[in-house]
Amino acid sequence: MSCPHGPLVGGYVLGALDPREMEEMRLHVAGCPHCGPEARALAGLPELLDRIEPADVPPPALPPEVEEAVLDRFARERRAKPPRRSRWAALRLPSRGIAAAAAACAVALVVALVLAWPSGDGEGGGGNTAYASVSLEALAPALPGAGASAELAAVPEGTEVQLRAWKLRDAEYELWCIRGDGRWVSGGTFWAGGDGRAEAELMAAVRPGDYHTMVVTRSAGGGERGPEILRGELRY
């Protein structure tokens, strides 16, 4: 568009800008020969979007490597979920100076995630259900009697791991899931206390059936794997 305010028209129509920008755009759209017609053409979009239900639209067919990358990022950067609001009102478009193409990509990703990953709200969306368990035994002779157990539950981000370990040394450890294709997927790190015990809630970007082996290593940092300490096979 020839108007520098053009990238904000979509956010204005969806009501997704902050209050100051909404007021500025309201005044601008009223007199702009470019943004005014565009805003009027998109005026019916919010009502149309609110009428779309996930069941009416097939989930986007993402390549496996893209899905895994997104799941891994969710698993590593998960934060407490804010109170649920309208999925369109929660959208925030880029500020002035960011290209319109970047705004379109951000909107497309949010819509894809909303449609592909149903939330826990509504019918049938109650708590997490364990789909497997595992007992891990010591591999290191220097840690006699060491071990761990874990319950594994499916969540939108992948797999939630409730881990309990004992008779470990006071150090940082890392949990790994070994996929059927041989890839190691990190479930995050945890610390054992001075008494050798640890309890942790971890997250791994894997789904039921993707893997059958779980390993605990000493944390090496820098993306490297340390020596194996514990290993176990899943019980589905």
CATH of the domain at 185: 2.60.40.200
Rounded to the nearest integer, the mean pLDDT of the chain is 77
At residue 100, the pLDDT reads 47
**Whether residue 58 is found in the same domain as residue 32:** yes
The verdict on residue 60 lying in a domain is: yes
At residue 45, the pLDDT reads 78
| Ordered strands of the 147-155 beta sheet | 184-191, 172-179, 211-219, 225-235, 130-138, 147-155, 158-166, 198-204
The verdict on residue 121 lying in a domain is: no
**Whether residue 77 is found in the same domain as residue 112:** yes
Q: What range defines the domain where residue 112 resides? A: 6-116
The verdict on residue 203 lying in a domain is: yes
pLDDT in tens, 94-141: 444 444 444 455 545 544 554 544 444 444 444 567 899 999 999 878
At residue 162, the pLDDT reads 94
- The closest of 173, 177, 184 to 143, measured between CA atoms, is 173
Amino acid at 158: G
**Whether residue 112 is found in the same domain as residue 135:** no
**Whether residue 83 is found in the same domain as residue 58:** yes
The verdict on residue 1 lying in a domain is: no
pLDDT in tens, 10-43: 888 888 888 999 999 999 989 998 888 888 888 8
**Whether residue 190 is found in the same domain as residue 112:** no
**Whether residue 143 is found in the same domain as residue 226:** yes
The verdict on residue 23 lying in a domain is: yes
Q: List phi, psi (to 5°) of 25.
A: -70, -35
